[in-house]
Structure 1
Amino acid sequence: MTTVDDLLNLLVLDKVNDSAFNGVSKTVGSPIVFGGQVLAQALNAASRTIKNNRVLHSMHAYFLEAGDLECPITYNVSNVRDGGSFSVRRVTAHQNDTRIFILSASFHKQEDGYEHQIQMKKGVKQPEELLSWTDMRTEFSDALPKTLKSFLEIKRPVEFKPTAFANPLQPKNLPPTHEVWFKLKGDVKGLDLATKQQILTYISDYNILTATLNPHASKAHWGNTQTAS
């Protein structure tokens, strides 16, 4: 899976009926299904039951069981509420008889309101100055834990360049933050907002856990620590 088209083929589910959808999995270098994939696929299922162009504004999810890469995933969507301005959906993901994931998502009709955003801090290194994951795999190959090396060897539809990382040759604790530039390998200009949200949802799960490991980077790493989001 190397392009945006490949990613869309993964995230856009096969429709079974108006409230059920099927999906498959692609490995990201882990022996289990990538959480970002399940989250994005569940959002795809929920979004396809929404009418009137309502836009996702809130979601909460729980991973209940590890997903099997070889087993299809069925997503069942429950219509919790369709109100005048909001629609709420609950999605349950199953593999055979095992429930592996649940999602609650709320969609809101588009209307004017207050907007704000956090400004980027000054002095952030630009992508041209930074190593990509591919660069790191090459430069630190001999020092990387086997699990992390396997993870970095997988080809992806997105390139990541963190502004700082735990150097395996000089392990030290880092601040509990993680800033990452990323770039998709393909054009997304023609995609609707819902699809772009699903792509960002998939991407978001790649780097969240790094922020929690950074303060313990002198001891904890992907080779000796069990993690879950």
Structure 2
Amino acid sequence: MSKALQGLLDLLDLEQIEENIFRGQSQSAVVPRVFGGQVAAQALVAAGRTVSADRLAHSLHAYFLRPGDPGAPIVYTVERMNDGRSFTARRVVAVQHGQPIFALSASFQRHEDGLEHQAPMPSAPDPATLPTSQDRLRGYDHIAPEVVEKFIEAREAIDLRYVEEPPYGKFGEPREPHSQVWFRTNGKLEGPIDDPLLHVVLATYVSDMTLLDSVLLAHGRGGWAVGDVVGASLDHAMWFHRPFRADEWLLYDQESPSASGGRGLGQARIYTQDGQLAISVIQEGVVRVPREH
């Protein structure tokens, strides 16, 4: 296991301070606020810690309310909404400096057999043939070196590989609002830590990294890295359909059907390498063009 991955796992291992209250730390991010994927993943950990192990997360719905302070701990309060025969529901509020910064509702289900169908996996090149995001970033002369290093540090625990050039790598001309990335953890998850909730939590963490890229592609924008767009996540929803492992390759197939009113919508499907549809994701975010642009 890489040192960076161990650091991420430590970040997600919350301290329990009361029966339904947990505390998490933060890490430096590319922008001067808590990374949205971090707070979503930590909130899901808090919810999962109050649910019996035979019930797996099948959906989450979340709102980002305020920018988080990366220099302060985050307190997660869990409300036990329902414990039914098949489903369990939890609501989590993340608080910093006395104010809520994030709210999440999550549902967990005992395993059942039922009807089965799925959308087919789109074509994509083998991830082994693609450059790592670190290699891509170090090849961009138009991005300030300090920004490149922040990106690399923030994503060091994840092996993330774009199929095509990311928005900040090739911008200025609109492209199809569609993006694909392969991702997996930078190391295997083995032993006592290898549990289904952790894999779901790690996918939640990664899901906030690139989902709005397709919005930027539609307008030829490069995003925060090149300073032509200001953005932030507003809300985020995920549905977990089938078992998967976060330490094995997952294809994140993303598109944007709409942008308007200073907001952009991204929707995506995440597939295992053998073609199983594992997760569906939808996110809306603020996407604003600075006045000088």
Q: Is the pair's TM-score, using the shorter chain for normalization, greater than 0.5?
A: yes
Aligned residue for 1:113?
Answer: 114
1:179 aligns with 2:180: yes
Q: What is the DSSP-based 3-state SS (H/G/I as helix, E as strand, rest coil) of the residue aligned with 2:102?
A: strand
1:147-188 Cα offsets, whole Å, 9 max, x none, are 853542325211111111236466321222211011311112
Return the alpha-carbon distance in structure 2 between the equivalents of residues 114 and 189 of structure 1: 32
Residue matched to 2:210 = 207
Structure 1 window deviating more from structure 2 (69-78 vs 4-13): it is 4-13
Number of aligned residue pairs = 226
Selected match of 2:197 from 180, 194, 198: 194
In structure 2, what residue type is equivalent to 1:162? Y
Output the amino acid matched with 2:37. G
Whole-angstrom distance in 1 between the partners of 2:34 and 2:108: 26
Matched, 1:228 2:227: no
| 2:148 aligned residue | 149
Q: Does 1:75 align with 2:76?
A: yes
- Structure 1 residue aligned with 2:27: 26
Q: Which structure has more RCO (C-alpha within 8 Å, separation ≥ 6)? A: 1
Q: Which runs of 4+ in 1 moved over 6 A?
A: none
Confirm or deny: 8 A CA contact 2:130 2:163 kept in the other structure.
yes
Q: Give the 3 Å change call, closer, same or farther, for CA 168–207 of structure 1 in structure 2.
A: closer
Aligned to 2:11: 10
In 1, Cα distance between equivalents of 2:69 and 2:3: 22
Query: Deviation per CA, 1:30-77, whole angstroms, max 9, x where unpaired?
Result: 210000000000000000001252111111000000000011000000
Cα drift, residue 98 of structure 1: 1.2
Structure 1 unmatched ranges of 5 or more: none
Give SS of 2:230's match. Answer: coil
Residue aligning to 1:158? 158
Deviation at 1:137, TM superposition (A): 1.7
| C-alpha separation in 1, matches of 2:171 and 2:62 | 36
Check the 8 A contact 2:29/2:150 in 1, yes or no: yes
Q: Does 1:137 align with 2:130?
A: no
Structure 2 residue identity aligned to 1:132: T
Identity fraction in percent: 36
What's the TM-score, normalizing by structure 2?
A: 0.72
Q: CA deviation at 1:131?
A: 2.4
RMSD: 2.0
Which amino acid letter does the alignment assign opposite residue 223 of structure 2?
H
- The 10-residue stretch of structure 1 (77-86 or 188-197) with the greater mean CA deviation from structure 2: 188-197
TM-score scaled to structure 1, two decimals? Answer: 0.90
2:285 corresponding residue in structure 1 = none
* Gap regions ≥5 residues in structure 2: 234-293
User: Structure 1 residue 211: deviation in Å?
Assistant: 1.7
CA distance in 2, matches of 1:152, 1:192: 28
**Contact 2:138–2:148 at 8 Å: present in 1 too?**
no
Question: Structure 1 CA distance, aligned partners of 2:93 and 2:118?
Answer: 32
User: For 2:209, what is the secondary structure of its paired residue?
Assistant: coil
Q: 1:214 to 1:51 in 2, by over 3 A?
A: same
What is the CA–CA distance in structure 2 between the aligned matches of 1:226 and 1:150, rounded to whole Å?
Answer: 20
CA distance, structure 2, for counterparts of residue 145 and residue 118 of structure 1: 40
Give the CA deviation at 1:189.
4.1
